[in-house]
Amino acid sequence: MSWHPAYRKQVLEPDFQHAATHLSHHFIDAMTAHLDTVMRLPAYAGEADQAAGAKVRAALVALHDAPRPEQADDVPDYYFALQRKLEAALGEAVGLVRVGLSRNDLDMTVYKMHGRASLLDTGERLLELRRLLIEKANAHVATVLIAQTHHQPGQPTTVAHYLGAVEDQLSRDSQRLEQAYTRMNTSPLGAAALAGSSHPLDREFTAARLGFDAPVGNTYDAVASADWQFDIVSLAQSVALGLGRFVNDLLSWAASGWYRLEDSLVQGSSIMPQKRNPVSLEHARTRFSRVLGAAGMVSYSHHNIPFTDLNDFGPDIQGALGLQHRQLVGALTLLDACLQHGDFDERKLAEAAARTDTTATELADVLARDHGLAFPHAHHVVATLVQRFNSEGRLLTSAAPADVEAAGGPLLSPEALTAALDPSGFVRRRNGLGMPAPEVMTIRLARATERLAADRQALRDRSEALARATAGLRGTGKEQV
């Protein structure tokens, strides 16, 4: 059949190239697993059929190392190109692969196999980023950072407290990833077009051969549902949204000199000699944004379409899924580099902390806790003091006991006032659950390290199970699961 040039150029050629580049091994593995299942059927238990099946299987496995088939004008997709290549070598025996098999269940199986491989890759990258965050936080448990609320200086905390919060959020993304993997790791094979097959195919055996936890329970669901794609893009969105905010803070701190990247991660200006542009962080930010854009491509392709097997969430959306993963990988790789080859400037952070009035909360607490003022009264006294010092261009940390008394407060000792206004002291006094005191954060980071190790083992278990299944498929075929 000769395809119309518009259909060939706009659909068949790009789909074929995508499959050949990204899905070839998955197609071969899925076809091999299906053949293994077919060869267990009583109808093909005879010696001749078993011998033919063994030859077909060997030829299938050999395709992993063979040049990928070229697209012929009369071949619609990559699956049929593989079939034609096998037929040229083996003849009609290749028909064993097609017993009870449809492109519907085969394609969806291949897409899921590719999707779970992408998830595992993302999972490994999240673990590495979390490790870097914990490492950086451990180096800065006592480094004071003035945190902002509503784009204004808020209160002193520490770099470790901030980075620990970012890692906590990423740990939940690791949980989301594991949940998404669990939900999607079911096999569509055996669903055929949508109603299954009258051949008594052992779908549980096929699923196990491919490293799936189980077959999809409903054969219609197997080919009509694509919510597992939403899980993948939603996970990527969560990562991108959370880390995009982190990157925005790093860019702000780089602008103020609080965070400094190595020269290999910045660019100068063609006209301004002094410039050190943090371009690596900028590019990480744009790639996180593109993750969100690609997610929209996937979501809108599922909007208001019939609930059945369709191209919308099949071949037509695979490019968007791949695009999203590439953008996410790019962003995570750049951010990794910026954490490994950048650091906080402790001197500048300390100078910034000393110049702010962000310890005002502690002074109000001291007035309430140690001198019996009602907190609203204490709040008013300190607010009056801050307003006076701001108008006079003075630093709050330079206040004397007489200044507090003049604002309507009690007479404090110089030692008590100095301690109340010290940013490092502010942090040390916050030593309750989840707070930034160094001893609290040290314990918290140790627990985060333990959590990371557990998540790493869980992901390793997933990867090793998949590797065992793949090795079995690409072996002699005598391995049974």
The domain locations on the chain are 5-99, 115-345+445-473, 360-421
pLDDT in the model for residue 408: 95
* Angle 274-279-283 from CA coordinates, rounded to 5°: 165
Residue whose C-alpha is closest to residue 346's, from 354, 337, 335: 354
pLDDT in the model for residue 477: 56
Say how far apart CA 419 and CA 397 lie, in whole Å. 10
Say how far apart CA 198 and CA 224 lie, in whole Å. 20
Say how far apart CA 344 and CA 326 lie, in whole Å. 29
- Work out the percent of the chain whose per-residue pLDDT is above 70: 99
Query: Do 223 and 309 meet the contact criterion of CB atoms below 8 Å apart?
Result: yes
DSSP bridge pairs for 215: 187
Radius of gyration of the chain measured on its C-alpha atoms? 31
- Read off the pLDDT of each residue in 420-444 and give the average, rounded to a whole number: 97
| CA dihedral sign of residues 241, 244, 246, 249 | negative
For the domain made up of 360-421, the CATH class stated in words is: mainly alpha
Query: Do 184 and 226 meet the contact criterion of CB atoms below 8 Å apart?
Result: no
Say how far apart CA 127 and CA 174 lie, in whole Å. 8
Query: Do 222 and 196 meet the contact criterion of CB atoms below 8 Å apart?
Result: no
Is pTM, for the whole model, over 0.85? yes
The predicted-structure confidence for 90-126, as pLDDT tens digits, reads as follows 999 999 999 999 999 999 999 999 999 999 999 999 9
* CATH fold for domain 115-345+445-473: Fumarase C; Chain A, domain 2 (1.20.200)
Say how far apart CA 411 and CA 367 lie, in whole Å. 10
How many C-alpha atoms does 221 have within 13 Å on its Cβ side? 9
Residue 273 φ/ψ, nearest 5 degrees: -65, -25
Cβ neighbour number for residue 88 with a 10 Å cutoff:
10
Average pLDDT, the chain: 95
pLDDT in the model for residue 481: 44
Residue whose C-alpha is closest to residue 403's, from 427, 387, 419: 387
The predicted-structure confidence for 278-312, as pLDDT tens digits, reads as follows 999 999 999 999 999 999 999 999 889 999 999 99
pLDDT in the model for residue 479: 52
